Amino acid sequence: MTAAYPTDFDLHLFHEGNLFQAYDLFGAHLSRIDQNIYTSFCVWAPHAKQVRLVGSFNNWNGEGYSLQKVNNEGIWYIQVQKNLEGELYKYEMLTETGETYLKTDPYAFFAEERPGTASIVYSLEGYKWHDQLWQNNKKQSAIYEKPLCIYEVHLGTWKRKEDGTLYSYRELADQVIPYVKELGFTHVEVMPVTEHPYDRSWGYQGTGYFAATSRYGEPKDFMYFVDQCHVHGLGVILDWVPGHFCKDAHGLHRLDGGYSYEYENSWDRENYIWGTANFDLGKTEVQSFLISNAVFWLDYFHIDGFRVDAVANIIYWPNRDHLEVNPFGLKFLKKLNKAVFQFDPDVLMIAEDSTDWPQVTAPVHMGGLGFNYKWNMGWMNDVLKYMEMHWHQRSDHHHLISFSLMYAYSENFILPFSHDEVVHGKKSLLNKMPGDYWQKFAQLRLLMGFLMAHPGKKLLFMGSELAPFSEWKDLEEIDWHLIEYEMHQKFREYFINLLHLYKRAESLFELDHDPRGFQWIDVHNTKQNVYSFIRRNKEGSPLIVICNFGEYGYENYRIGVPEVSWYEEILNSDKKKYGGSGQINPAPLEAKKGDFHGQPAYVHMTIPPFGVVYIQPKI
């Protein structure tokens, strides 16, 4: 417990844009002097004429609680000779024009539960972590060569209590972790837990960037959630939104009467699509704020990585008739990634980027943006467009499945079926599939099998394992009742078996980012809508994948294979226990020598309708 008075060096770094642990200075901090505990407050408010501290400890009357202006660049500070832990507070900003703004602390560690908006004095010290083994293993793990399958979860609607109230972070830890482990995922991605006023923004319109939302408990309860994930072998990725912020009156918007955190120019500032304000990423103090925020979640909460939201909104200026590069955004992303990797070389920095900007996942020193992963939005859009077509139309759109391999190794990709694809009238994955009841389930099993076999890491939204007919309703829990129905039960069993197979089969992940890991067998069968390809591991061992996107099954289907051997079926989505018709290959398949599909041997096998089959040489 140390005093947090701003030093000249701190101030220099902050205004330079290089104070990457600004949370140790700004916000509310407890300090011990002799035998007494004091509470200090520090805020950056360059447009304020006066700043006063108000709260539950002074009846919200700032008389006698004026902050001292530390420098001419707008940093204000006060030390209160009281232990104010647990007290509510805000900053009363008096502007040059005589207006008064009552604002929450941009660096507050905790906030009042909605609909309240006050900050709370809170100490993050004292949590005892139990994740040393996880941290050690992470340092020894080459994530690019490991399976990575992410379960995207919105904590408020994963599950609700019977009375409709929310589970706490601790209660969620006890329920989410064993469930996700059973499914077979390697990581949980939590949609933003930064404090936000409106439930249906899902956390993407924040007001408290340093405060884990009080909806589910205290910040130390969220530490427990992360800690327990690590203890049980799950990584935790946090959705993070450094491009824009909420315009609610108590937040960052016009914090001190001026535009401190946002662009001065309204055309650049206003994010008309989302009703938010864009961060001024060229402002050095904003850079210190945002980069410190990323470091903060790594430092205090042991987060394993970030899915950085709306990167396109950072690379390009908003509100333009054509794409116009924002040089401030580009420089910020590079600076962010360099700083984060310097703090933690093993972090996952994942760009949710819908653009074709090159070298997003290349290091900054090689001309890249410095992320180590990027969502493959092109693959997702193409594949879902293809799957939503009636199968009679698919022959004319064969490229929608094959085109992704033209650029699959240009970046380190994650293949996402996220919440964005199953909300706001887009329909659930199951309901995107054409056809009758059986055909929908068969095609969804096929889609999942293709996802797991395609080069790239994986992400799926919560509830995918249940195959819901309804899209995500975002105010209610996911459709747990579906598990009572036979086809949904069978789909869930398939889903679990598929994910666990994915994690065992090195050919499906070791060379995700290396062209040696993929080879087409037959990419030209447009008439039958059948694709076949090989995935290989570092040793070169093949796993053969056959995807039939058509309505007919085939017996004695001939397919080229890379070696003369006996092949065994290790996955067939058409098994009856999965809800299929039972068109499988129960006995080993004998490969015969002879050139076919450009391979030195071939097998005859059964290909089910709307099915995916994995085979490999029998050991």
pLDDT, one tens digit per residue, over 70-86 is: 999 999 999 999 999 99
Half-sphere exposure of 286 (CA within 13 A, CB side): 23
pLDDT, one tens digit per residue, over 462-488 is: 999 999 999 999 999 999 999 999 999
Of the candidates 375, 401, 388, 573, the one whose C-alpha atom is nearest the C-alpha of residue 459 is 375
The stretch 304-325 carries a mean pLDDT of 96
Percent of the chain with pLDDT over 70: 99
The stretch 492-517 carries a mean pLDDT of 98
Q: How confident is the model at residue 342 (pLDDT cuts 50, 70, 90)?
A: very high
Kindly report the CA angle at 382 between 376 and 386, in degrees rounded to 5?
145
Task: Please state the pTM of the whole predicted model.
Answer: 0.97
* Collapsed DSSP state (helix, strand, coil) of residue 195: strand
Q: How confident is the model at residue 5 (pLDDT cuts 50, 70, 90)?
A: confident
Distances (CA, A) of 544 to 408, 518, 521, 587, 592: 18, 10, 9, 16, 16
Q: How confident is the model at residue 503 (pLDDT cuts 50, 70, 90)?
A: very high
Kindly report the length of the chain: 619
Indicate the average pLDDT of the chain.
97
The stretch 481-499 carries a mean pLDDT of 98
CATH architecture of the domain 1-125+149-375 equals Alpha-Beta Barrel (3.20)
pLDDT, one tens digit per residue, over 205-244 is: 999 999 999 999 999 999 999 999 999 999 999 999 999 9
CB 104 within 8 A of CB 134: no
**Which one of 3.40.50.150, 3.20.20.140, 2.60.40.1180, 3.40.50.620 gives the CATH number of domain 515-617?**
2.60.40.1180
Confidence (pLDDT) at 331? 98
d(CA 95, CA 309): 33
Say if residue 551 is exposed, middle or buried (CB neighbours under 10 Å; 0-12, 13-18, 19+).
Answer: middle
Q: Domain segments of the chain: what residues?
A: 1-125+149-375, 515-617
The answer, yes or no, to whether residue 2 has pLDDT greater than 60, is no
Say whether 411 is catalytic.
Answer: no
The answer, yes or no, to whether residue 100 has pLDDT greater than 70, is yes
The answer, yes or no, to whether residue 142 has pLDDT greater than 90, is no
Q: How confident is the model at residue 4 (pLDDT cuts 50, 70, 90)?
A: low
pLDDT, one tens digit per residue, over 530-543 is: 999 999 999 999 99
The answer, yes or no, to whether residue 28 has pLDDT greater than 70, is yes
The stretch 12-36 carries a mean pLDDT of 96
Q: Which two tokens stand for residue 395?
A: 């022959």
d(CA 122, CA 28): 8
Say if residue 181 is exposed, middle or buried (CB neighbours under 10 Å; 0-12, 13-18, 19+).
Answer: middle
Confidence (pLDDT) at 283? 98
The stretch 563-579 carries a mean pLDDT of 98
The stretch 554-578 carries a mean pLDDT of 98
Helix (H) or strand (E) holding 53: strand 48-55
Say whether 73 is catalytic.
Answer: no
* Collapsed DSSP state (helix, strand, coil) of residue 541: coil
Helices and strands (H, E) in the chain, number of each type:
14, 30
Calculate the CA 436 to chain-centre distance.
33
State the Cα torsion 314-319-325-329 to the nearest 10°. -30
pLDDT, one tens digit per residue, over 348-364 is: 999 999 999 999 999 99
The stretch 516-535 carries a mean pLDDT of 97
Q: What is the DSSP letter of 434?
A: -
CB 407 within 8 A of CB 359: no
Q: Find tokens 């499988």 and name the residue.
A: 584
Helix, strand, coil share (%) of the chain residues, nearest 5: 30, 25, 45
Q: Are domains 1-125+149-375 and 515-617 of this chain identical in fold?
A: no
Catalytic residue among 239, 352, 465, 574: 352
d(CA 260, CA 247): 13
If you compute the radius of gyration of the chain from its CA atoms, what whole number of angstroms results? Answer: 27
Q: Find tokens 């409709």 and name the residue.
A: 164
CB 167 within 8 A of CB 478: no
Confidence (pLDDT) at 321? 86
State the Cα torsion 393-396-400-406 to the nearest 10°. 160
Q: Find tokens 């300090």 and name the residue.
A: 31
Percent of the chain with pLDDT over 90: 97
CB 82 within 8 A of CB 56: no
The answer, yes or no, to whether residue 365 has pLDDT greater than 60, is yes
Catalytic residue among 112, 309, 411, 512: 309
Confidence (pLDDT) at 35? 87
The stretch 251-275 carries a mean pLDDT of 96
Detail the DSSP E strand segments found in 200-351. Answer: 208-212, 235-240, 244-245, 270-271, 276-278, 305-308, 348-351
pLDDT, one tens digit per residue, over 16-25 is: 999 999 999 9
Partners of residue 535 on adjacent β-strands = 518, 543
Of the candidates 431, 370, 435, 379, the one whose C-alpha atom is nearest the C-alpha of residue 403 is 379
pLDDT, one tens digit per residue, over 373-418 is: 999 999 999 999 999 999 999 999 999 999 999 999 999 999 999 9
Those residues with Cβ within 8 angstroms of residue 612's Cβ, 6 or more apart along the chain or in another chain = 445, 446, 449, 450, 453, 545, 546, 547, 548, 571, 572, 573
d(CA 611, CA 569): 13
Q: Which two tokens stand for residue 163?
A: 């009375």
Kindly report the CA angle at 164 between 303 and 246, in degrees rounded to 5?
50
Detail the DSSP E strand segments found in 446-517. Answer: 457-461
Give 123-176 as a DSSP string: --TT-----HHHHHHHHT--GGGS--EEEEE-HHHH-B-TTSPBPPHHHHHHHH
Confidence (pLDDT) at 34? 87
